[in-house]
């Protein structure tokens, strides 16, 4: 058995698998933090820390998502499985694009909220991402986009996960398995 780094025509490699699960888990974690921190009042001990973590982890996620974007544009992804029907292939392509684009919109709109007043975003006090620009209504509009696109992507990720589980448990095919396992037999491509 050997570990494959890059995608092959039949499998996802280590880079795609690690980035997929890192992004998926971080997205869900940030959603929970974002939703919970909005319920806190000024006197709660987490009032300052949680938004700081939310923004810090979010900016790190932005870097990972941009890396996955470059990876996806340069490395050919595996071919569709033969048992996938035409409508499944088309709808999964649309869903994957929407998920990728939606996560990016949530991240960029998140960045645009606190930077609207010109202040940069500190990442765990290691360093600061500077503010890019400040437009009229930026804070309110990006706040709305951030909230509703975050909810939409959460819903779509449930449909997406449901589809993966349906392929695994009902169709009993390799769809989920090839996004989970990173090793192959050496005589397999
Ligand atoms: C994909 C990653 C992210 C997810 C899933 C996410 C999710 C959320 C959610 C669900 C809320 C609560 C929205 C509400 O109920 O109004 C929120 C609020 C917020 N998020 Fe994020 N967020 C992400 C990334 C970021 C980033 C990168 C930043 C900034 C660097 C950021 C900054 C904020 C701010 C400032 C708020 C408070 C909004 C307000 O005061 O209206 N988020 N986020
Ligand atoms: C917020 C959460 C998630 C996001 C943003 C997300 C996003 C994506 C994207 C963009 C792809 C296309 C990958 C590529 O072309 O390289 C993909 C593929 C995949 N995802 Fe997710 N995903 C999430 C959660 C999940 C969960 C929870 C599961 C399983 C229960 C899952 C299972 C899969 C599988 C099996 C594939 C490969 C599909 C195929 O080969 O056609 N994902 N995901």
Provide residues with CB under 6 Å of ligand 1: 27, 30-31, 34-35, 38, 54-55, 58-59, 61-62, 103, 106-107, 110-111, 113-114, 121, 143, 146-147, 150
pLDDT digits (tens, 9 = 90+) for 95-132: 999 999 999 999 999 999 999 999 999 999 899 999 99
For CA atoms 104, 138, 127, 44, the dihedral sign is negative
Give the domain CATH number at 137.
1.20.950.20
Cα distance between residue 150 and residue 98, in whole Å: 12
84 close to ligand 2 (CB < 6 Angstrom)? no
- Look at residues 125, 141, 176, 187 and name the one whose alpha carbon lies nearest to residue 17: 176
182: pLDDT confidence band, cut at 50, 70 and 90?
Answer: confident
pLDDT of residue 1: 60
Distance between Cα 38 and ligand 2 center (Å): 28
Mean pLDDT of the chain: 94
pLDDT above 70 for 184: no
> Has residue 189 been placed in a domain?
no
pLDDT in tens, 47-86: 999 999 999 999 999 999 999 999 999 999 999 999 999 9
Q: What percent of the chain has pLDDT over 70?
A: 96
State the Cα–Cα distance between residues 30 and 52, nearest whole angstrom: 12
pLDDT category, 4, cuts 50, 70, 90? confident
**CA pseudo-torsion sign 170, 176, 180, 183:** positive
Tell me the whole-structure pTM to 2 decimals: 0.93
Counting the structural domains of the chain, the total is 1
Range of the domain at 31: 2-184
């Amino acid at each position: 058995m050997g570990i494959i780094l890059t995608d092959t025509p039949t499998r996802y490699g280590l880079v795609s698998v690690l980035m997929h699960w890192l992004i998926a888990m971080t997205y869900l974690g940030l959603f929970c933090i974002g939703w919970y921190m909005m319920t806190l009042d000024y006197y709660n001990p987490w009032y300052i820390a949680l938004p700081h973590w939310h923004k810090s982890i979010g900016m790190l996620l932005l870097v990972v998502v941009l890396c996955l974007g470059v990876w996806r544009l340069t490395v050919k992804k595996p071919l569709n499985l033969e048992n996938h029907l035409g409508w499944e292939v088309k709808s999964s392509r649309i869903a994957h694009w929407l998920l990728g684009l939606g996560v990016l919109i949530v991240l960029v709109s998140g960045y645009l909220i606190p930077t609207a007043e010109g202040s940069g975003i500190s990442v765990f006090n290691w360093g600061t991402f500077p503010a890019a620009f400040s437009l009229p209504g930026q804070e309110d509009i990006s706040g709305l986009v951030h909230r509703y696109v975050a909810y939409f992507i959460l819903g779509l990720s449930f449909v997406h996960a449901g589809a993966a589980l349906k392929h695994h448990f009902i169709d009993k095919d390799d769809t989920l398995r090839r996004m989970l396992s990173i090793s192959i037999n050496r005589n397999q491509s």
